[in-house]
Amino acid sequence: MKAKVANQLRLVVDTIPTLAWVVRRDGSAEFFNRRWLDYTGLSREQAVDWGFLVAIHPDDVPRMLAKYKEALNSGQPFEMEGRFRRFDGEFRWFLFRGSPWHDESGKVVKWYGTNTDLEDRKRAEEVLRASEQNFRLIVDSIPGLVNATTANGEVELVSQRVLDFFGKTFEEVKKDWVSLVHPDDRERTLALWGHSLKTGEAFDYEHRVRRADGVYRWFHSRGTALRDAEGNIIRWYFLLTDIDGRKKAEENLRRSEAYLLEAQKLSQTGSFGWNAATGEMIWSEETFRIFDYDRTTNPTLELMLRRIHPEDTCVVKEAIEQAAQHGNDFDFERRLLMPDGSVKNVHVVAHAQRGESGRVKHLRSIGHPVVSQSGASVEFLGTAMDVTEHWQARTELEKAFEEIKRLKDRLQDENVALREQIDQALMFEEIVGSSPALEAVLSSVVKVAPTDSTVLLTGETGTGKELIARAIHKRSARSSQAFVAVNCAAIPDSLIASELFGHEKGAFTGAFQRRLGRFEIAEGGTIFLDEVGELPPDAQVALLRVLQEREFERVGGGQPIRADVRVIAATNRDLRAGLAVDTFRRDLFYRLHVFPIQIPPLRERREDIPTLVEYFISRYARRAGRDIKGIQSKSLELLKSYSWPGNIRELQNVIERAVIVHEKGSLVVEESWLSPESSQAVRVAQHPFQRPLADEKALIEETLAECGGKVSGATGAAAKLGLPPSTLETKIRSLRINKYRFKVTEK
């Protein structure tokens, strides 16, 4: 009976679908089932004891034996993978499992084990690994930032470009990708992403993200959900495309269009385009205003002609017909009759742009175009300028041709000057440096810029007071309006009122027509009064009225004009000292002294000198078309040790001179350019501005006495003080100094 059971058990072991074996406690084999022997092609005699090792790949034997013996010593079950030889000599991957059998005392008596074929799984894993590598290569080659998330939004894959762009590891990106989004865009980004997660809708949004160097760039982020057969989201895929260049181009275009519209508004000049063949017209905003049509109106030539005064209609139609028939430019000044019965005068100029054939289309009558047989086309680009105010100001004698020409030339000159002012106002001037002294100034600029408060800038000559004034303007709500700069010291006393507030025709000799002053030109914007301490008493009174009452009068005029202008003043002298000697009005001082900002001299911000030097080298080298890598260390140390009495302006001039004479290698600054004598002369000139006016007056009188009352020339007081003669003359007048009493009488 026992033999029968043993035979049955052996039959079961031999027929089970696996390779089975039994080894002794020392690891030597004593039994293999039939499947094991058939698979290896070994006989039982060949396999028992340690003969089974011949069926294991030679490269795997040391590793597997080490783990096998470790299990034998510990008495713990084991698993390991290795290559196993089939009867035909082919090696395949198998999983070797072994479990111990213990007797009643707990000792290991034998080991029972199986070998399971893993070859197919191994090959599948290899194929999958190769597929993943190929997928990674494809993802990393996509021109953009690629990432994938789980269905609930957790990052699970990013391309190498993502890691390189952000300078982060995968774990860092996965943990806190939100911090890489610009602070101003985070709330909106998270809201849209949350909506996509909730609804499954595609994610499509533009936002800024931070590059590894800290720079934020604009990206277009698009995300699409991957769904299974039942429609459930299993993954999200994202592509971020860099659009920073496009965004900057769009912003530049928007600014350019805004500047053009503002320039047209200030000069009361509208522009238009007209296709003579199709009748299509395009008007600018100012053209709609001039002809008094709603912006939603579709512009046509008929609408423009409808506003022409009935007495001028025939002349205008004929001029346009002739221009359209022959492709000529047209230029005329005519009256407009407005719906409310008022009359305007406009000056219209248009230039013909011919089509591809060089010929023009013909008009049978206004508004009824006929295309020529050649198929040629012509478009007119023109301007319409509202000149009503100038027509009303003319007398019958001024209607003569020469007077009209002078008026038009003057108007054009003022428009050119105004556009230059606008261009300057809208440029962003760089303020270079990071010293604590400069940072304090910029902090004050940030605080006061959004307000309309009057600002007083003080500091030595050449410290960049106008740059600070422009920075305040650019960061204010008036940044889209004009910034008008006036140097009060450069304007003769007799003309300062006219320059600031304008004059009426006939107000004084040479006033042939009304002229707008700087305050009117700066309406809605900012006026910068440089060297405000040089204003004569009567101009101080007028300026005080503007600050207190927000109104002024033109010279020779009797009507007050409202002024919506922010005032920023600057001086390099001690205005408080001027109060004591009555050269500057006390009430005006306190009106200007609402928010004072002291601009530090360059010698108090020496740590900014290397940065400024690099900036000026780049600017002037680019202008000169030269490639200058840097400055000699010896020259840089010389610049850092110099006292810079002329401040940034002097440093700028020195670098420009060095670039001009530069030949090759690093930039060199000659020590003779920074001579102590030159430095001392300028310090003497600047010294009075940092001390009371009484001392300044005494210094000037002392210098005039030394020079025998002579102001100009190489031996004059101006040269000795390091001042322009005109500036010294102004100071002599403002301090009420009698220069003639110092004249030396020749015997």
Q: Where are the domains of the chain?
A: 2-117, 142-242, 254-392, 406-598, 602-682, 692-742
More confident residue, 96 or 285: 96
Inter-helix orientation angle 609-624/633-641, to 10°: 120
Contacts of 141 (CB under 8 A, 6+ apart): none
356 pLDDT band, cuts 50/70/90, is very low
Burial class (CB in 10 A: 0-12, 13-18, 19+), 559: exposed
Extract the tokens encoding 608: 């900014």
Extract the tokens encoding 329: 């430019």
Burial class (CB in 10 A: 0-12, 13-18, 19+), 221: buried
Residue 96 has pLDDT above 60, yes or no: yes
pLDDT per position as a tens digit, 330-343: 788 888 888 888 88
Extract the tokens encoding 411: 């108007």
Mean pLDDT along residues 26-36 = 91
SS3 state at 308: strand
Residue 420: predicted pLDDT: 46
Instruction: Report whether 526 contacts 476 (CB < 8 A).
Output: yes
Asked whether this chain's domains 2-117 and 602-682 adopt the same fold, the reply is no
Pairwise CA distance, residues 374 & 356, whole Å: 10
Q: Which residues pair with 97 in a beta bridge?
A: 79, 114
2-117 CATH pick, 2.40.50.100, 3.30.450.20, 1.10.760.10, 3.40.50.720: 3.30.450.20
Extract the tokens encoding 614: 């690099």
Out of 126-135, 524-533, 696-705, the most confident range is 524-533
Residue 691 has pLDDT above 60, yes or no: no
Mean pLDDT along residues 733-737 = 81
Residue 747: predicted pLDDT: 41
Extract the tokens encoding 595: 């928010």
Residue 584: predicted pLDDT: 85
Pairing of strands 203-210, 281-283: unpaired
Pairing of strands 483-487, 526-530: parallel
130 pLDDT band, cuts 50/70/90, is low
More confident residue, 399 or 325: 325
Out of 14-23, 53-62, 398-407, the most confident range is 53-62
Mean pLDDT along residues 72-95 = 92
Would you give the distance in Å from CA 627 to the centre of its chain? 26
More confident residue, 679 or 63: 63
Mean pLDDT along residues 456-462 = 90
Q: Which residues pair with 92 in a beta bridge?
A: 84
Extract the tokens encoding 607: 């740590």
Assigned CATH class of 254-392: alpha beta
Residue 743 has pLDDT above 90, yes or no: no
Instruction: Report whether 238 contacts 158 (CB < 8 A).
Output: no
More confident residue, 240 or 730: 240
Residue 642 has pLDDT above 80, yes or no: yes
CATH number, span 142-242: 3.30.450.20
Mean pLDDT of the chain: 80
Q: What are the phi and psi torsion angles at 646 (to 5°)?
A: -90, 5
Residue 402: predicted pLDDT: 62
Mean pLDDT along residues 141-160 = 82
Extract the tokens encoding 321: 């017909």
Residue 409 has pLDDT above 60, yes or no: no
More confident residue, 697 or 631: 631
Rounded (to 5) percent helix, strand, coil in the chain: 45, 20, 30
Residue 429 has pLDDT above 60, yes or no: no
Assigned CATH class of 602-682: mainly alpha
> Would you put residue 38 in left (φ > 0), alpha (ψ -120 to 50) or beta?
alpha
CA nearest neighbour of 704 among 720, 691, 690, 692: 720
Pairwise CA distance, residues 244 & 517, whole Å: 42
| DSSP output for 136-192 | HHHHHHSSSEEEEEETTS-EEEE-HHHHHHHT--HHHHHH-GGGGB-HHHHHHHHHH
Write a three-state SS string for 253-271: HHHHHHHHHHHHHHHCEEE
Rg (the chain; Cα; Å): 45
CATH number, span 406-598: 3.40.50.300
Instruction: Report whether 731 contacts 742 (CB < 8 A).
Output: no
